[in-house]
Structure 1
Amino acid sequence: MSPSSSAGIAPTSSFGLLRQPREVLYGAGQRAALAPMVLALGNQVVLVTDERMAGDPFFNDVVVALRRRGARVTVFDQVTPDLPVGDVDAAVAHVRSSEASDPEVVVGIGGGSCIDLAKVLALVLRHGGSPRDYYGEFAVPGPTIPVVAVPTTAGTGSEVTPVAVLSDPEAVMKVGISSPYLIPHTAVIDPVLTGSCPSGLSAASGADALSHLVESFTAIRHEPTSELYQERVFVGKGALTDAYARYGLELVGRSLRTCVHTGGEGPHRDDMAMAALCGGFALGTAGTAVAHAFQYPIGALTHTAHGVGVGCLLPYAMAFNAEARPEETSEIGRLLGAGENVTPQGAVRAVADLLSDIGIPATLADLGVTYDQLDEIAENGLRARRLVQNNPVPLGAVEARELVELAFTGKLP
């Protein structure tokens, strides 16, 4: 007798996989637990952040709390947007000449670039070489130095994902390092830390979270072989990641506009911090798709903030994929508050309207892309193979060019 029949539960063909940190601590005020959580992992600590966050009283409190408990602390506070690969080299050199030259734990505090640098720094300090040695999937040879991630924006979900994204001038566009070993050991998410985000940052990070939720929910569905999790870091949509995506989309529909237009602290910040976390959980296993693939070359050409770029592309990607994911697309509209009987086309329009309401540009032309750059964008977007292969609709050169032209002209099918 099978376990399912003995329990009176019908057999299911659902597939699910989750790759997550060992500990996730969430809630207002939980930042106070950071120092003891860090010291449980080691006494030599590297803190990674940017110049703005380094001047925040919270960051100073963390440094003081660690040192009072006897930790040897090194601070690297020179992270820059889009994480140039040179930032990693500078951080490695700084740490190796510091008092915590043999760190036992690396703490990333800030937005996605700060947390991604913490991940890659922990990798290079443990395994040597250059970040370029680890581009792609499954190139990390083993565990890194433990990372504790503390996000101060509600968007990237990097605090729980197995990927770090860098800008590399030798690669023309952004590149990724993807490995389960990159998942932070611990994530501490305190929504109060996002309360000072200005409206533009709230919009960009919120659009990023929305794109993670949508693309993971509509991603390809692979044949669930027992080898799938070993063959791919990102295995496509599944029952477990769908649950996170649904919850996150409902929260975005409820609170993203308020975060952008009202700001300050409050329940809307709690909702969006949780939505970003759900997006990280979903994309960290399911993966993202073509909106992210084409943002890589667009970001390199226009220096557009990542969330703004993927937000601009998202409605066109949804429309392109709607025929393959009609039920999921309609459900996205319902979860965002577009009504119980919304069609896939209506859901695409609801997403486009939401993004417009928070100030995300509607076309690639609005981002500064010129028509003569479309061929280059289409060609380079296809080079992001792990993202293109995660799309529910196969994409070749013709389809890629068609998609970027639609996003340039603003014509939603």
Structure 2
Amino acid sequence: MNRTVNELQLGLLRQPATVLFGPGQRRQLPSLIAAHGDRALLCTDERMSADPVFTDIVASIQRRGVTVSVYSKVEPDLPRENLLDVANQFAGQRFDVVVGIGGGSVMDFAKVTAILLARGGDVRELYGENIVDGPGFPLITVPTTGGTGAEVTCIAVVFDADKGMKIGVASPHLEATTAVIDPELTLTCPPGLTMATGADALTHLVESFTSRAKNPSAEDIDAHLYVGKNLLTDHYCRSGLTLVNSSFARVVADPSDLRARSDTMFAAFNAGMAINTAGTAGAHAIQSPIGALTHTAHGLGVGALLPYVTRFNLPTRLEEFAEIGQILEVADASASLEAQAHAGIRRLEELLDTLGCPLNLKDLGLEPKDFDYVADQAMLATRLTANNPRELTHDAVVEILRRGHADDRSFWTV
């Protein structure tokens, strides 16, 4: 099995021009928005729009003389219909800035909305990598969950019901101008959402740290967003993994613990910074069709897959999983790399279990009769499978599903 390494010693980040992090920093929004002009579109979901915090944010922006329009119908997993609706509702209107306040679907919605309202068209015309060839309206992202990292990424994932699948819109022009990350906004996050987004963040960190190193040429870097595991993404992964190693237990024990919420949200930010150029991999490719079949949350799906995808990838990423064991403070430095890697993967499972995430696919409702269909669909996600450190084939995905359904976490041969 081929092991890829970063022979170029490449480091590459794509990121917002400004990132503002810390409890209470949402109070900077009025000045940040007013700096762009006096017409703002705020995008959110029904839960957040009913929150007094959102009402206060809108009022504070209006006091700066900014006319605020609100779209509050964003749904989970971002159906294409939401984007058709907002394009119809605000057709022909110009905004000085678009603001997304909510979870990952809201972030993705705001990214695409900023493009569509500025440039016109249907989101279907934007599916794929670098199809968006110019900027939209300026974008400010304000996450309310500690998990997706979508506030700093330049991809949006849309569910197209007609196609029966999630499809990415990926371009540097989707990158936010400013990300405002305020952990106070996660204090009212429901336990189920905390679990799902935490599992998503952990999966982002692991997949970025263990993804394929691609050693891209100058032409590759120009043409592609995801250039593989690199020095800078590794730095963010190490930071994020260190944070979640203690923050998950503290958030579960006391959801009102602001320091724990801050550490979890900072870890999710680190993960977002990493996946923006390293990309996600096998667990994300396989989850999408499982989610469509079982109607389970994205974070729960990638979390349930992680124990089995890590074992599949172990032969090509022994050193990285051993380092994960060291970062998570469970690996004996005097032990073999294999023993250290096993300890690291077991600790990842413990972290998922702490969150309450299911650790097998049967609990998600996946049935063996659907294994071949899931594998077929996963293989279509070439953007993701190309990042996986070990080659994914149809048969390999079926084996991952078989073990995941049987809760078989015995280690595969290295």
Aligned counterpart for 2:55 among listed residues 55, 60, 63: 60
- Contact kept, 8 Å, 1:46 with 1:95, in 2: the verdict is no
2:206 aligns with 214
- Contact kept, 8 Å, 1:207 with 1:308, in 2: the verdict is yes
Q: 2:90 and 2:328 mapped to 1: Cα distance?
A: 45
Could you say what secondary structure the match of 2:315 adopts? coil
1:363 aligns with 360
Q: Equivalent pairs: percent with the same residue?
A: 46
Q: 2:22 and 2:283 mapped to 1: Cα distance?
A: 31
Q: Offset of 1:157 from its aligned partner?
A: 0.4
- Contact kept, 8 Å, 1:76 with 1:94, in 2: the verdict is no
- Contact kept, 8 Å, 1:254 with 1:336, in 2: the verdict is no
- Contact kept, 8 Å, 1:332 with 1:347, in 2: the verdict is yes
Q: 1:295 and 1:264 mapped to 2: Cα distance?
A: 30
Q: Offset of 1:202 from its aligned partner?
A: 1.1
Q: Offset of 1:141 from its aligned partner?
A: 1.8
Give CA-to-partner distance per residue, 1:105-162, whole Å, 9 cap, x none: 1000010011111011111112211111111101102111111000010000000001
Is 1:20–2:39 an aligned residue pair? Answer: no
Q: Offset of 1:276 from its aligned partner?
A: 0.4
- Contact kept, 8 Å, 1:365 with 1:408, in 2: the verdict is yes
2:31 aligns with 36
More moved, 252-261 vs 176-185: 252-261
Within a 5 Å distance, the mapping from 1:123-134 to structure 2 comes to 123-134=115-126
Aligned AA for 1:180? P
Q: 1:162 and 1:177 mapped to 2: Cα distance?
A: 8
1:393 aligns with 390
2:375 aligns with 378
Q: 2:73 and 2:167 mapped to 1: Cα distance?
A: 20
More moved, 255-264 vs 292-301: 255-264
Aligned AA for 1:75? V
Give CA-to-partner distance per residue, 1:251-270, whole Å, 9 cap, x none: 01011122123211321111
Is 1:94–2:92 an aligned residue pair? Answer: no
Aligned AA for 1:178? A
Q: 1:183 and 1:340 mapped to 2: Cα distance?
A: 41
- Contact kept, 8 Å, 1:192 with 1:265, in 2: the verdict is no
Aligned counterpart for 1:138 among listed residues 122, 130, 134: 130
Which runs of no fewer than 5 residues in structure 2 stay unpaired?
A: 1-6, 334-338
- Contact kept, 8 Å, 2:10 with 2:215, in 1: the verdict is no
1:154 aligns with 146
Work out the number of aligned pairs and report it. 399
Is 1:175–2:185 an aligned residue pair? Answer: no
- Contact kept, 8 Å, 1:200 with 1:260, in 2: the verdict is no
Aligned AA for 2:353? S
- TM-score (norm: length of structure 2): 0.94
Give CA-to-partner distance per residue, 1:33-80, whole Å, 9 cap, x none: 011101112211000001111111221112112222211111001111
Within a 5 Å distance, the mapping from 1:177-326 to structure 2 comes to 177-326=169-318
Aligned AA for 1:139? I
- Contact kept, 8 Å, 1:74 with 1:95, in 2: the verdict is no
Is 1:72–2:67 an aligned residue pair? Answer: yes
Aligned AA for 1:301? L
Give CA-to-partner distance per residue, 1:172-208, whole Å, 9 cap, x none: 1211111111111110001111111122211111100
Which runs of no fewer than 5 residues in structure 1 stay unpaired?
A: 1-11
Q: 1:404 and 1:383 mapped to 2: Cα distance?
A: 16
Q: Offset of 1:333 from its aligned partner?
A: 2.2
Could you say what secondary structure the match of 1:323 adopts? helix
Aligned AA for 1:72? T
More moved, 105-114 vs 225-234: 225-234
Q: Offset of 1:241 from its aligned partner?
A: 0.6
Q: 1:346 and 1:186 mapped to 2: Cα distance?
A: 39
Q: 1:406 and 1:175 mapped to 2: Cα distance?
A: 27
1:9 aligns with none
- Contact kept, 8 Å, 1:317 with 1:403, in 2: the verdict is yes
Q: 1:228 and 1:134 mapped to 2: Cα distance?
A: 20
- Contact kept, 8 Å, 2:198 with 2:355, in 1: the verdict is no
2:79 aligns with 84
Is 1:51–2:51 an aligned residue pair? Answer: no
Question: How big is the alpha-carbon RMSD for the aligned residues of Structure 1 and Structure 2?
Answer: 1.3
- TM-score (norm: length of structure 1): 0.94
Aligned AA for 1:86? E
Q: Offset of 1:398 from its aligned partner?
A: 1.6
Aligned AA for 1:158? A
